[in-house]
Structure 1
């Protein structure tokens, strides 16, 4: 069972000031989770988390994470600008992008960010764009093929297909890139890779670490370059369904430590720092989309209409993703009614739930849609002229702060040339 981090009375008071729909984030939960992550990797002196800004590009959130020692993983000009305005600069920024324009490389270099190159052709393109290559540089690796992990506690296999992904370099290309970058003046090298998304397995990160640690040993032997860090990227998932078991970050950190000591230490590479760039794991459970029931419809199915729509949370419409729903004030009532919970877009996939068993829902009820703290508001859009909702922060003292106001019609028309 999933329990909201706010009560019905709290939400009614909040909604009286900030009308639904809105996204709300739990500051206490975010801080506690960031501290658990740091503790899990505290055995590695150079460890740093680079929060994936794309997951929740909200300055108030970035500032909280900065206070907890996190940097920013950026992939665009806007994200670089946001990090800078939040006081995150220098090597506290990892710039990982693809099909990158020259101006974005230039800004990343001006900020002193660590640049992560996605393709071999970008080596010389970077040098031409900024007039040099930085002394510290990173390259993204794609091993190709299919990545399969041993069976997990949930009884399924984690599988993804790096060979179909547009990201990263082949094994020969990353060796060639390191050699060329060294010729151009680079002195400290990093390796980055991402093999699977939203994994509910404590084994994924250690398995990825072993692949990258072995690659680092081989590349050091082949090219002679100094590999100073390895970025394990993201992929640690969250339990969207109430019957799923969450990952144990302490167990994950210990598994990575064992791989480090078995592979890197014997190779004399015990000075390698480890980086992560988590988004979903850092934020998803600590955000709710709060929406109010506006209509009931009784035709071939039972529909509950709410004032939010896919423009506020795209994942169910885009991926068929499951997000748990709590009917506030009816948390202990029997789930004996089957509903589709829908928004108001002119698209039939604008559904937050399909054939979901829930308590009896009435017009005026508040619904909490769980696990929207990452890839929620961030993926919002304006189809049908829908306006993006406000973002609120439930602070550690129990007060609520507006951290992004809701859009207005004036915002929607602001870029129009009449």
Structure 2
């Protein structure tokens, strides 16, 4: 667990200025982590991280990561627009989508993004949408039973994503026939995976497939995108993924397969989100109620609408209490929000210090797939986002929602005469 960067008094000052709940991200820690990630993979002829916009879709986050050499991985029109407004265009953008409308392919092409196709039938669809198949195309490979998934993403053969092995060969041949001249290869077979060897095996699988494509079709893959899936240690006792160990293992596979196949230099791409920002973002919320029935409850002013992971699938997030980080954990609580759903819980039967209304609680490892997954059920208004700058100042990078925001898409003009 990465330590929270503000003491109790400093956090109270921020809460007094912006109100709770809010997300706080640590710019200095994110930059340092991105530099470690880049350094670990610098042993390859070419390397680039395409930050998964879905993890933290905020233009300030994209901009600071672009400063560290990152591109973006997008899966929708708004994510493409966010990238563009953050100054990220061209082949720095990977458009990896599925069941994609033609208009979104057209916008991706306008940006010069790499279009990563999810199905063999999409070749003709894109050709019709754009008037031609792009010069550079990438296909998403689904290895099915040839590769084991993990508990978070499930079995590849049950996933809706990607092309089968047989389809991959047919797809590259078809794309080349229609005018494509440059090619990439992509897969994504795990989520929140903590075992380093899993990523080495995935890379080796793509290297071997690239070599087979060259032998069978004479096609030269110029990059492999290893997807994302690198996990973070949410639970006490979990160990973070060692980037250096992963890189060394992938480099050994590269030398074993890519070099003899005549594919060197082959670029290595990632599309990680969770390990880049996840440990360096926190949801800060205030305890406003306590309840003692069959269990002891602490009610906070955040809800599942602000962070749905625990309620949605029982995800674990460490919870600390500002000013009581070293206090003995003498109480057992369910920490809950106000949503009209019994799964609206941030912690269940969790040993914590004694909490009183007014205490600030910090929910850790919320910097990815946190605010991004927020929603408005129960007409809840989503919280804002703050960035702790390297100089110690705090900048609001997304204001909290207002009633006007919630009602903006409703038309009240004819309500009085409606019968």
TM-score normalised by the shorter chain: which range applies? Answer: over 0.9
Equivalence map 1:131-280=2 (5 Å):
131-145=131-145, 147-148=147-148, 160-280=154-274
Alignment counterpart, residue 339 of structure 1, candidates 333, 340, 356: 333
Following superposition, the deviation at residue 242 of structure 1 comes to: 2.0
Corresponding residue number in structure 2 for 1:126: 126
Q: Secondary structure at the match of 2:289?
A: strand
Q: What is the CA deviation profile of residues 236-265 of structure 1, one whole-angstrom value per residue up to 9, with x for unaligned ones? A: 100001211111111111111111111111
Equivalent-residue separation in structure 1 for 2:190 and 2:2 (angstroms) = 25
Which consecutive unaligned segments of at least 5 residues does structure 2 have? 413-419
Matched, 1:108 2:75: no
Equivalent-residue separation in structure 2 for 1:50 and 1:2 (angstroms) = 23
Q: What is the CA deviation profile of residues 286-313 of structure 1, one whole-angstrom value per residue up to 9, with x for unaligned ones? A: 1000000000000000000000000000
Equivalent-residue separation in structure 2 for 1:360 and 1:344 (angstroms) = 21
Following superposition, the deviation at residue 158 of structure 1 comes to: 9.2
Q: TM-score, normalised by structure 1?
A: 0.97
Q: Secondary structure at the match of 1:15?
A: helix
Equivalent-residue separation in structure 2 for 1:240 and 1:208 (angstroms) = 23
Which consecutive unaligned segments of at least 5 residues does structure 1 have? 150-155
Q: What is the CA deviation profile of residues 61-80 of structure 1, one whole-angstrom value per residue up to 9, with x for unaligned ones? A: 00000000000100001001
Corresponding residue number in structure 2 for 1:320: 314
CA contact (8 A) 1:90 1:113 kept: yes
Q: TM-score, normalised by structure 2?
A: 0.96
Corresponding residue number in structure 2 for 1:32: 32
Alignment length, in residue pairs?
Answer: 412
CA contact (8 A) 1:51 1:279 kept: yes
Corresponding residue number in structure 2 for 1:99: 99
Equivalent-residue separation in structure 2 for 1:90 and 1:190 (angstroms) = 15
Corresponding residue number in structure 2 for 1:361: 355
Following superposition, the deviation at residue 160 of structure 1 comes to: 4.0
CA contact (8 A) 1:148 1:159 kept: no
Instruction: Flag the 1:170–1:86 CA change in 2: closer, same or farther, 3 A.
Output: same
Matched, 1:330 2:324: yes
Corresponding residue number in structure 2 for 1:49: 49
Q: Secondary structure at the match of 1:367?
A: strand
Equivalent-residue separation in structure 2 for 1:380 and 1:289 (angstroms) = 12
Equivalent-residue separation in structure 2 for 1:147 and 1:266 (angstroms) = 24
Instruction: Flag the 1:248–1:278 CA change in 2: closer, same or farther, 3 A.
Output: same
Q: Secondary structure at the match of 2:14?
A: helix
Equivalent-residue separation in structure 1 for 2:187 and 2:151 (angstroms) = 20
CA contact (8 A) 1:147 1:196 kept: no
Instruction: Flag the 1:258–1:56 CA change in 2: closer, same or farther, 3 A.
Output: same
Corresponding residue number in structure 1 for 2:301: 307
Following superposition, the deviation at residue 105 of structure 1 comes to: 0.5
